[in-house]
Amino acid sequence: MSKKKDQEEVSEGSQNAFAAGGKPGAGGQTQDAEPSGSANSPSGTEQPANAGPCGSAEDRIKTLEAETADLKDKLLRKQADFENYRKRMLREREDATRYSNAALLSDIIGLIDDFERAIKSAEESRDFPTFLQGISMIEKQFIEMLESRWGLKRFSSVGEGFDPNRHEAVLRVEGPPTAKPVVVEDFQKGYFLHERVLRPARVKVLVPGTEPATGPGTEKPARNAPEGSGGSGT
């Protein structure tokens, strides 16, 4: 009787649990029913109030249009700045080329003043030795100025070995067969600009003869000598 009574009580408890929305558990224990509208229920999913597809797309388009307009404005400004910079560089380069010799010409102007004073003094005194002395002083000052300020240096070649990089042979003189080519006279001095030959010297060269020399050396025009320059030679 007692066992039958327990079974009836379990049955009644299960029915009461179903009526309350629960589920019977093991041993007749009831489980609470899941609340309606939970996250796992499709019908209970919440939607944002302003998450409509049309409104979101329009806002994104407006944002992209604003960004595009801003980038276009920045690009145009950069192009204008670059064009102004290019024009300024061209103008500065033209000015640098046009006035690149301004410092050199400023130095030469002072020498022109010295020449004018020497000529005026010679006209008044008619003293040729004094005039010659003044011109020689001006030449010396001119050479020193070019050398010290501009790197232009005049070189002498007499007594040096012939160097085709520094000398232009105008005349050649045959000497002893064992002699080496040597410069014996400067017709026109050469100049260096810093370490580079600006103008080669035009010279007379002593070259080895084909026969023993029996008298003074015989002058012959050099192969690269222009006609009528430096004197006659046969």
Question: What's the mean pLDDT in 180-195?
Answer: 92
CA distance 150 to 104: 8
28-37, 72-81, 116-125: range with highest mean pLDDT: 72-81
Mind listing the pLDDT tens digit for each residue in 74-112? Answer: 999 999 999 999 999 999 999 998 998 898 999 999 999
pLDDT, one tens digit per residue, over 36-72 is: 444 444 444 455 555 555 668 888 999 999 999 999 9
Whether residue 184 has pLDDT greater than 80: yes
Instruction: With a cut of 70, say whether residue 204 has pLDDT above it.
Output: yes
In the chain the domains, ranked by start, together with CATH numbers, are: 73-150 (no CATH), 153-221 (2.30.22.10)
The tokens of 53 are what?
A: 């597809």
Intra-chain end-to-end CA distance of the chain, in Å? 164
User: What whole-number distance in Å separates Cα of residue 103 and Cα of residue 96?
Assistant: 12
Q: For position 151, what pLDDT does the model report?
A: 93
pLDDT at 9 over 60: no
Dihedral sign, Cα of residue 17, residue 18, residue 19, residue 22: positive
C-alpha dist (Å) from residue 46 to 37, 52, 54, 210, 227: 10, 13, 19, 118, 110
Q: What is the pLDDT of residues 141-163, one digit of tens each?
A: 999 999 999 999 999 899 899 99
4 pLDDT above the threshold of 90: no
Per the CB < 8 A criterion, the answer to whether 9 and 22 are in contact is: no
Report the C-alpha gap between 148 and 153 in whole angstroms: 9
Using a cut of 0.75, tell me whether the model's pTM lies above it: no
Give the three-state DSSP class for 157: coil
Q: Are the C-beta atoms of residues 203 and 183 closer than 8 Å to each other?
A: yes
**8 Å CB contact between 222 and 170:** yes
